[in-house]
Amino acid sequence: MNFKSYLATLRVQDQALPEGLQELLLALSHACSGLSQAVAQGPLIGLLGSAGTGNVQGEVQQKLDVIANDTLIAGLSGCSALAGIASEEMELPIPVGSGEGSYLVLFDPLDGSSNIDVNVSIGTIFSILKKPIPNAPLEPNDFLQAGSQQVAAGYVVYGPQTTLVMSLGAGVDLFTLDPITDQFMLTKESIRIPQAAKEFAINMSNSRHWAKPVQRYIEECLAGVTGVRQKDFNMRWIASMVADVHRVLMRGGVFMYPWDQREPNKPGKLRLMYEANPMGFLVEQAGGQAIDGKQRILEIKPTTLHQRVSVMLGAGEEIERLRTYHLA
Ligand code: AHG
Ligand code: MN
Ligand code: MN
């Protein structure tokens, strides 16, 4: 089944999706399939390397960060149901049309920037919210909603295949882009994350900077079969959140980017509204958990658009254990 037919037939709590939301998701998928082609061409169209600019968070922008942002905005600007767009690459949200549509989109246009130039999987992460007051001009604060309010969340991985993973609050489904027909096809339904795990993903080079509960958890995993956990753990770190979380959704495990002492005043590296919230929504919809150490990520009430958060997500039993260690 192609993505358009899926959207037309899907029922969420016995309701068909509003046409505006279908139109919005279809436009988003088209923009991402266009990006997928550009990513595949890479150096052939001069797409690698730095843009020579910085974003609002003081990070160096790669050419593809900027191109991805522009491509998504162009692809969504004709959606009458959309009121506004917020992005990692823009300090402030922008209105779409009159700014009076029903939905808001937030995205990380290009996740995994450090992997662009080395031909490793990268992606796009998105979150869709309802505009609090439809038919009123767009206000920047309209975006500051807890992740539990998301209408839809998902990501596209540009990897060996281009894969779209999405949830509208009724489970998590996966679509594979057929590059011949340029259609996303439903290839896996109702993804579930096993409660137990034996694989973790964390940037180990930061271990000396972590808080004690995270150090304890990882030390116990590393101790393996003769340690308190009485089993061996495997480790992976791709350094693209999309690809690391995709692996967790496909074969289980945990993913962490916790707070650390390198920048003690920042809650973490990853951004709440367009990285942690959409991924947290997907992981919960797949039966897993997503916390900042103590609290469910989806319950955090945001105060600023680009705020950061400590992230631990994946297998329920492991995340519960991490929560216990943080509360001890
Ligand atoms: P972005 O490219 O959107 O800035 O995000 C990169 C993030 C995330 O994708 C990944 O998990 C993390 O940065 C990797 O960080 P390290 O380089 O510190 O491992
Ligand atoms: Mn990112
Ligand atoms: Mn990014």
Give the tens place of pLDDT for each residue, 254-303: 999 999 999 999 999 999 999 999 999 999 999 999 999 999 999 999 99
Least confident of 58-67, 145-154, 229-238: 58-67
CATH homologous superfamily of domain 3-188? Fructose-1,6-Bisphosphatase, subunit A, domain 1 (3.30.540.10)
Predicted pLDDT at 99: 81
| Residue bearing the CA closest to ligand 1, atom 17 | 239
Residue 191 phi, psi (nearest 5): -65, 135
Ligand 1 centre from 19 Cα, in Å?
Answer: 35
Q: Where in the chain is the domain with CATH 3.40.190.80?
A: 199-327
- CA dist 282 and 168 (Å) reads 9
Which of 76, 79, 47 is closest to 64 using CA atoms?
Answer: 47
Residue 109 phi, psi (nearest 5): -60, -35
The pLDDT-based confidence of 56 (bands split at 50, 70, 90) is confident
> Is the model's pTM score more than 0.85?
yes
Ligand 1 centre from 112 Cα, in Å?
Answer: 5
The pLDDT-based confidence of 148 (bands split at 50, 70, 90) is very high
| Residue bearing the CA closest to ligand 1, atom 15 | 239
User: For residue 112, which atom of ligand 1 is closest to its CA?
Assistant: 2
- CA dist 302 and 143 (Å) reads 9
User: For residue 244, which atom of ligand 1 is closest to its CA?
Assistant: 11
pLDDT tens readout for residues 159-213: 999 999 999 999 999 999 999 999 999 999 999 999 999 999 999 999 999 999 9
- CA dist 284 and 260 (Å) reads 25
Predicted pLDDT at 192: 98
Predicted pLDDT at 262: 96
- CA dist 173 and 89 (Å) reads 28
Percent pLDDT > 90 in the chain is: 95
Residue 134 has pLDDT above 90, yes or no: no
Collapsing DSSP states into helix, strand and coil, what is residue 30? helix
Predicted pLDDT at 216: 98
- CA dist 193 and 167 (Å) reads 14
Let me know if 78 is exposed, middle or buried by CB neighbors in 10 A (0-12, 13-18, 19+): exposed
- CA dist 28 and 324 (Å) reads 39
Contact 108, 274 (CB under 8 A): yes
The pLDDT-based confidence of 158 (bands split at 50, 70, 90) is very high
Q: Give alpha helix (H) positions in the chain.
A: 3-9, 19-41, 63-76, 212-223, 241-251, 277-285, 316-327
| Residue bearing the CA closest to ligand 1, atom 1 | 111
Spell out a b/e string for 196-225, using b for 16 or more CB atoms within 10 Å of the CB, else e. ebbbbbbeeeeeeebeebbebbbeebeeee
- CA dist 37 and 45 (Å) reads 11
The pLDDT-based confidence of 251 (bands split at 50, 70, 90) is very high
Predicted pLDDT at 308: 97
- Contacting residues for 313 by C-beta, under 8 A, at least 6 apart: 245, 248, 254, 255, 256, 279, 280, 283, 288, 289, 290, 291, 297, 319
Inter-CA distances, 226 with 83, 236, 319, Å: 56, 21, 22
Least confident of 45-49, 201-205, 233-237: 45-49
Residue 178 phi, psi (nearest 5): -85, 110
Average the pLDDT over 61-75 and give the result: 96
Q: Where in the chain is the domain with CATH 3.30.540.10?
A: 3-188
Instruction: Find where tokens 């959140």 sit.
Output: 241
Ligand 1 pocket test target in 240, 242, 255 with most atoms within 8 Å of CB: 240
- CA dist 248 and 193 (Å) reads 7
Ligand 2 centre from 291 Cα, in Å?
Answer: 18
What number does CATH give the domain 199-327?
A: 3.40.190.80
Predicted pLDDT at 26: 98
Percent pLDDT > 70 in the chain is: 100
Residues with CB under 6 A from ligand 1: 59, 88, 108, 111-114, 203, 239-241, 257
